[in-house]
């Protein structure tokens, strides 16, 4: 996730355009902060200034806030392709310095496009996927196309999830744009128009907006807006809206808290993660896992629960010998780990100190290390032999939500790749699995739409509880563990997760009238046993909540107080969608208790001390 801003003005804003771009970028810095840059057209010249670092640091070095002109674009980056560096910072330009582009998202076919362009003599300056866009526009301009036609031809060649804005020196009054999944919104002023990833970027100038839909493209000039979809013009007047948010509300896009915003961002975060996974990379890692003597998975907190899902799938589907442990306990395995073993280290930030220490110890023992992280070129991926990234953008809420489901997606795909390498999954089964995985973002979207109001009511009813249980079997246990952790983190309810079969070996002693128990039930071999566990708790007057497959709704609705049906049946894939109701329940319970879920007491987003 990156931040984009574009400004075009007839007579200026009463200050250097670079200064206005800087102020707008500051309001987008939560979307990315490893590098920043601007491109301004002034006096017939395209000027680009950019660099690695936060906005203030880069401006102090390159003075981009002092550039003036009547049209400019800016970008604050969250690295996805290429480490944070001056060269990889946006905007990116073509060979001739005529075109500048800023981009949020992923161009999944950039390797093929880059090879084609290099074959035609184009020289690339960065490692990014974005730079191919500038060179493609240049290529079409050389063919005689005008700027907008060159832009249209370019976007027709792109695959992936992205939003981008481009300027062309030859047409200095237009900003060309396209939205494909990643967000983009136009701000309409008086003699000045804007385009940005988020409304906060331009809210101090105007509250009149047009929110772009997927598949729309066009251009913005100081006095006009043109939008097309599938070659047909869109009626802009019908789309104009007036925003009543405060600037703080706008930074959360109208959501009350960042946690809720990030829960709702999961469909896009999952699409971006899937688009960013390279098949060759997955095949290579799958082969490494298939050949391993032992596989160790280590992580902390929420990432550990994702690791436990990976453990279960690697064990049951790929037949691997897997050992998963919390990173702070790595010393237990130092006499068994060695040459021929592979470790997966999972860390949202890539800087978690316990995970980093475990990585170093395993690596020194001769173990090959694979990192899964959300932060490009952070310590853990940097020190690992191989790294694979989630593509969720920065996560501001302390309680992990979208990074967790993206980790599940990556680990599930890696487990299936290992199973294929071992011959447990054939080509048809692998193709079916990937097709099902591609539907997951839509399933998550439907889960949010269909269940949020119900979950909010459930949260109000359990908000007075002091304790509750989360019970599951098989894949349901790690998801239950994550649900319980979320409830502890943000609602301060003593929530404990247990294997459902163990509940009668002690925990059931605490169950009394209205004691909340949440059951995680998949469409698997544990269904009948889980139904028996529900009956045990109901016999003691527990308040039984079930996250269940839609196929079992009619049957289980009779024994549960509340059923939350999920529209995906394959358990290995369903774990992602099942996580969402757990997150919503914790969030709304915290709000019902008058708490701020964005700022849970005693917790930090990244733990960097032992």
Whole-angstrom distance, CA of residue 274 vs CA of residue 438: 8
| Torsion on CA atoms 560, 563, 565, 570, rounded to nearest 10 | -30
**Marked catalytic residue, from 63, 142, 332, 605:** 605
- Residue 515: how many other CB atoms lie within 10 Å: 20
- Strand pairing category for 386-389 and 368-373: parallel
**Marked catalytic residue, from 2, 27, 174, 252:** 2
State the SS3 of 442-498. HHHHHHHHHHHHHHHHHHHHHCCCCEEEEEECCCHHHHHHHHHHHHHHHHCCEEEEE
| Tokens coding 282 | 């997955």
| H-type alpha helices, 349-401 | 353-364, 379-383
Active site residue 2: yes
Core vs surface per residue 218-231: b (16+ CB within 10 A) or e = bbbbbeebebbeee
- Strand pairing category for 295-299 and 241-242: unpaired
Core vs surface per residue 406-444: b (16+ CB within 10 A) or e = bbbbbbbbbbbbbbbbbebbeeeeeeebeebbeebbebb
Decide: helix, strand or coil at residue 360.
helix
Active site residue 605: yes
CA distances from 428 to 261, 316, 431 (A): 37, 19, 5
Q: Report the Cα 566 to chain-centroid distance in Å.
A: 21
Whole-angstrom distance, CA of residue 448 vs CA of residue 443: 9
Decide: helix, strand or coil at residue 362.
helix
Return the CA Rg of the chain: 25
| Tokens coding 59 | 């401006």
Instruction: Cite the active site residues.
Output: 2, 605
């Amino acid at each position: 996730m990156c931040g984009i801003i574009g400004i075009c003005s007839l007579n200026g804003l009463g200050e250097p355009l670079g200064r206005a771009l800087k102020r707008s970028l500051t309001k987008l810095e939560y979307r990315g902060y490893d590098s920043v840059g601007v491109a301004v057209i002034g006096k017939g010249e395209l000027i680009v200034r950019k660099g690695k670092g936060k906005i203030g640091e880069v401006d102090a070095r390159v003075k981009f806030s002092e550039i003036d002109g009547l049209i400019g674009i800016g970008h604050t980056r969250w690295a996805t392709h290429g480490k944070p560096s001056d060269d990889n910072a946006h905007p990116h330009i073509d060979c001739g310095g005529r075109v500048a582009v800023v981009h949020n998202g992923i161009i999944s076919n950039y390797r093929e496009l880059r090879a084609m362009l290099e074959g035609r003599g184009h020289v690339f300056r960065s490692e990014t996927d974005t730079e191919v866009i500038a060179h493609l526009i240049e290529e079409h301009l050389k063919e005689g196309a005008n700027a907008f036609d060159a832009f249209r031809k370019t976007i027709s060649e792109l695959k992936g999830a992205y939003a981008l804005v481009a300027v062309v020196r030859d047409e200095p009054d237009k900003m060309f744009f396209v939205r494909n999944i990643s967000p983009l919104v136009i701000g309409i002023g008086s003699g000045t128009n804007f385009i940005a990833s988020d409304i906060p970027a331009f809210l101090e100038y105007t509250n009149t907006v047009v929110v772009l839909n997927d598949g729309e493209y066009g251009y913005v000039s100081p006095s006009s807006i043109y939008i097309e979809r599938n070659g047909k013009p869109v009626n802009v007047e019908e789309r104009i809206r007036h925003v009543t948010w405060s600037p703080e509300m706008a930074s959360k896009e109208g959501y009350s808290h960042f946690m809720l915003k990030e829960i709702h961002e999961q469909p896009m975060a999952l699409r971006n993660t899937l688009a960013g996974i390279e098949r060759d990379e997955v095949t290579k890692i799958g082969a490494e896992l298939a050949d391993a003597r032992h596989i160790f998975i280590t992580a902390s907190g929420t990432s550990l629960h994702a690791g436990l899902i990976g453990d279960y799938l690697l064990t049951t589907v790929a037949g691997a010998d897997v050992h998963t442990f919390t990173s702070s306990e790595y010393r237990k395995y130092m006499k068994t780990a060695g040459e021929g073993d592979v470790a997966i280290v999972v860390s949202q930030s890539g800087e978690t100190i316990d995970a980093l220490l475990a990585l170093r110890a395993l690596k020194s023992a001769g173990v090959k290390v694979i990192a899964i992280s959300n932060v490009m070129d952070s310590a853990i991926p940097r020190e690992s032999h191989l790294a694979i990234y989630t593509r969720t953008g920065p996560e501001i809420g302390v309680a992990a939500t979208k990074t967790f489901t993206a980790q599940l997606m990556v680990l599930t795909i890696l487990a299936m790749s290992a199973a294929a390498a071992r011959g447990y999954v054939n080509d048809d089964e692998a193709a079916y699995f990937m097709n099902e995985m591609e539907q997951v973002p839509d399933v998550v979207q439907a889960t949010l739409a269909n269940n949020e109001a119900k979950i909010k009511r459930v949260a109000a009813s359990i908000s007075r509880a002091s304790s509750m249980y989360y019970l599951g079997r098989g894949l349901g246990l790690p998801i239950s563990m994550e649900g319980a952790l979320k409830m502890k983190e943000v609602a301060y309810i003593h929530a404990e997760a247990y294997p459902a079969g163990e509940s009668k070996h002690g925990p059931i002693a605490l169950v009394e009238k209205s004691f909340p128990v949440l059951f995680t039930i998949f469409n698997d071999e544990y269904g009948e046993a889980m139904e028996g566990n529900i009956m045990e708790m109901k016999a003691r007057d527990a308040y039984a909540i079930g996250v269940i497959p839609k196929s079992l709704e009619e049957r289980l609705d009779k024994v549960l107080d509340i059923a939350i049906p999920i529209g995906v049946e394959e358990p290995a894939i369903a774990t992602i969608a099942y996580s969402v109701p757990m997150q919503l329940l914790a969030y709304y319970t915290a709000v019902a208790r008058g708490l701020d879920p964005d700022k849970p007491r005693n917790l930090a987003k990244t733990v960097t001390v032992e």
